[in-house]
Each structure stands twice: as structure tokens, then as C-alpha cells.
Amino acid sequence: MIRKYENHSLLPYHTFGMDVKAAVFVEYSSVDELKQVLEQEVRGKEKWLHIGGGSNLLFTGDFDGTILHSAIKGYEVLSDSEEEVLVRVGAGEVWDDFVAYAVDRDWYGAENLSLIPGEVGASAVQNIGAYGMEAKDLIVKVEALEVATGKECTFLNMDCRYAYRESIFKKEWKGCYIITHVTYRLTKRRAFHLEYGNVKDELAKQGCEPTLKKVREVIIRIREAKLPDPKVQGNAGSFFMNPVIPRMQYESLLAKYPEMPHYKVDEEWVKVPAAWMIDRCGWKGKQMGRAGVHNKQALVLVNCGGATGQEIITLSQRIQQSVFETFGIAIVPEVNFLS
Ligand code: EPU
């Protein structure tokens, strides 16, 4: 059923906790309904936006256009061999429910991405990632409707041009397609990725062999300890992306900051943690009016209660400025600003 509301509160549909409204809000639950919605509510309209779980959005005021949300649900096993399974999932499923579904069945691949907020459709747009794994490592194909024509299209992983927090759906094809289903490949072979951060140490503390359930538990525990719960304190997870800089630049920074962490991208490029630089600039736990920097993870900006989107943006600009002045590196928000 298509659900359409006017002057609809967006409070339940985003995680930053701003009490803003959408002029029109439409939710659909099938591909056919989406075709109808595109025809009646989207084509020819100047302002519309498709949202997922709203965990990457910052509204600076009411949204005077149409917001779309998918309620396309369901899991379908497309193939099941001794080695692997291919699972086709509706774009409106909650991402972490998919991770739990895979872990419950002893299928490997999604566990490191436990508790990432958001929905399946957005996983394929944002290429969500954590603890050394990204959605692109699992995605086989993405099904979508072309906005201009309503045509059903299928894209293979390589068509989506995935990179760190990037895909073609965020760039050249922004606003051109709406994802309806994503097919993921999960493996039945025991294969863990525990090299990143303190995942291995946390598992070792428990003194047991890793199992899928244990890895999921540990990752959930680490995330819960570091990241604020949006139900308690509005936030959108990492506010900035980790910048990728030339290795030469990183090496010259090392002379001044020998403890600066980094992750190798390839021979020429390295990724440096924005959280570490923000922390070094003294922002962790700081507050400017009703906007703040989380006291356990400097990459997360928080709504300390009643903050406007603009207050958060002002704080983010001050942080960008001080990181640039200190390290000569421009950090870019991962969060989308909307009004
Ligand atoms: N660090 C600090 N101070 C802080 C926080 C971190 O110095 O306040 C240092 C850490 O010691 C570490 C480095 O910065 O050396 C990286 O920190 P962390 O491992 O916590 O990860 P991150 O790079 O800050 C990324 C993702 C997170 C994901 C974690 C774990 C991005 C933009 N963020 O954060 O994703 O959970 O790695 O894999 O890539 C999200 O996108 O919303 C998100 C939470």
C-alpha cells in the first residue's frame, strides 16, 4: 500500500533529532507501487529526496519537497551451494536485520558490519563499511528503477564503481535511480576478518575461538561503547569521511606527528583517520551552543538537545578549519546537508 502524508514530521526518519517536517512524505512497498509513485509524485517535481534509515542526514529546516521511503521487504535465496549463498534483499529491510539473518544461518561476510544504522538500499549507495569490511565486498548486483522512465535496471558490482564510501549512485547517477533490491554473496567457508582495530584483542579477552555470533557480539559491544545511541543523543555516526592523502604528504606529516595512524590504500595513497586529527586539535568532548563533539569518538558530532542543523554545520566548519590549519588536510562531511 502507498502511504502519503502531508506536513509530516521527520523526527522518526532521521537520527540527528531535529524536529523538522516534510511537505509531502510517501512510502511504498513494491516495485509496482514505486513505478506509480515515480509517475505521480516525482517526475516533473523540482524537489524530492529518497531516504533510507536517515542516519546520514542533517536537516537545516523543514523540507519543502517530497520525501520518499522504501518499505520493500523480504529475503530470497537465489542460489545455495556448498560454498556460498546469494541472497536478494528488499531495499527497505533494516541493514542490521540482514546481518543478524546471515549470522543466524552461519553465513560469513556481513558480521563486521553489525549494528551499522540504515537500510539495505542505502548500503549499496553509501558503500557502508566498518572494521575492514565494506558492503561492496558482498554486493553482487543492485536492482533499481530509472527515475526518468520507471524502467527496471540491474547493475553488477563493477557497474556501481565502488570506492571508500562512494558509488556511482552518489555521483554521476545521483537522483537517476531508486534501488529496489540488493543481492549479496555470503560464504559458508569459515573466514573472519579480525585484523582491524581492537576486534581481535576483544575476542582474545574472552579466551575463546571466534564464531560468527561472538564476532557480531564483540563488534556490537565496541560500537555501543564508542558511538552514541541516536535515541539518547541525536547524531549521524561519523560526520566526516577519513581523508585519503598522497603517501608523500603523510610521510612529511610523520616528522611532526610520529604517532599519526594511517591505513594503506595503495602504493601512492594513504587514508588518515579524521577522528585522530580532530582529537589532536582538542575538539573531543567540546560543545558550541547545543552542538557538540562526542566525548568517546571525535568523528561524531552530536545534538546536545534542541540543536538546529545550522548549529551543527557551524561547529563542523570550525572543526574543518582547525584541522586544515594544523595538518593542511581538508576533511569533507560524510553527512548530507538538507533544507
Ligand atoms: N581516534 C582518536 N580519537 C578519537 C577516535 C579515534 O584518536 O576520538 C583514532 C583511533 O585511535 C584510531 C583512529 O582514530 O587510531 C580510527 O578510529 P576508529 O577505529 O574508531 O575508526 P574511524 O576511522 O574513526 C571508521 C568509520 C566508522 C567505523 C569505524 C570502525 C569512517 C568515516 N568511519 O571510523 O564508521 O565504525 O571506522 O571500522 O570511515 C560511520 O560511518 O558512521 C562509522 C561509524
76/89 Cα distance (integer angstroms): 7
Helices in 93-181 by DSSP H: which ranges?
A: 95-104, 120-126
> CA quadruple 150, 58, 126, 130: dihedral positive or negative?
negative
pLDDT at residue 339 tops 80: yes
126/132 Cα distance (integer angstroms): 15
Task: Please identify which residue in the block is written with the cell numbers 529526496.
Answer: 49
202/239 Cα distance (integer angstroms): 26
pLDDT tens, position by position, 115-163: 999 999 999 999 999 999 999 999 999 999 999 999 999 999 999 999 9
Q: Given this model, what pLDDT does residue 205 score?
A: 87
Q: Measured in angstroms, how far is the CA atom of residue 226 from the centroid of ligand 1?
A: 9
Q: Given this model, what pLDDT does residue 183 score?
A: 99
Least confident of 50-59, 64-73, 205-214, 299-308: 205-214
Residues 311 and 16 sit within 8 Å (Cβ to Cβ): no
pLDDT band at residue 208 using 50, 70 and 90 as cut-offs: confident
pLDDT tens, position by position, 286-337: 999 999 999 999 999 999 999 999 999 999 999 999 999 999 999 999 999 9
pLDDT at residue 197 tops 80: no
Q: Report the pocket of ligand 1 as residue ranges, CB < 6 Å.
A: 130-131, 196-197, 227, 237-238, 241-242, 261, 273, 275-276, 279, 284, 297-299, 334
Q: Given this model, what pLDDT does residue 209 score?
A: 83
pLDDT tens, position by position, 215-240: 999 999 999 999 999 999 999 999 99
pLDDT at residue 94 tops 90: yes
Active site residue 238: yes
Mutate to test the pocket of ligand 1, among 165, 194, 238 (most ligand atoms within 8 A of CB): 238
pLDDT band at residue 169 using 50, 70 and 90 as cut-offs: very high
Which of these is catalytic: 143, 238, 311, 316?
238
98/339 Cα distance (integer angstroms): 31
Q: Measured in angstroms, how far is the CA atom of residue 101 from the centroid of ligand 1?
A: 26
Which of these is catalytic: 165, 247, 290, 318?
165
Q: List, in sequence order, every beta strand (DSSP E) within 71-167.
A: 75-80, 84-90, 129-130, 133-134, 139-146, 152-156
**4 forms bridges with which residues in the sheet?**
26
Q: Whose CA is nearest to atom 32 of ligand 1?
A: 241
pLDDT tens, position by position, 17-35: 999 999 999 999 999 999 9
C-alpha cell, 37:
509513485
Q: Measured in angstroms, how far is the CA atom of residue 135 from the centroid of ligand 1?
A: 17
The DSSP result for 275-338, as a single string, is HHHHHHTT-TT-EETTEEE-SS-TTEEEE-SS--HHHHHHHHHHHHHHHHHHHS----BSSEEE
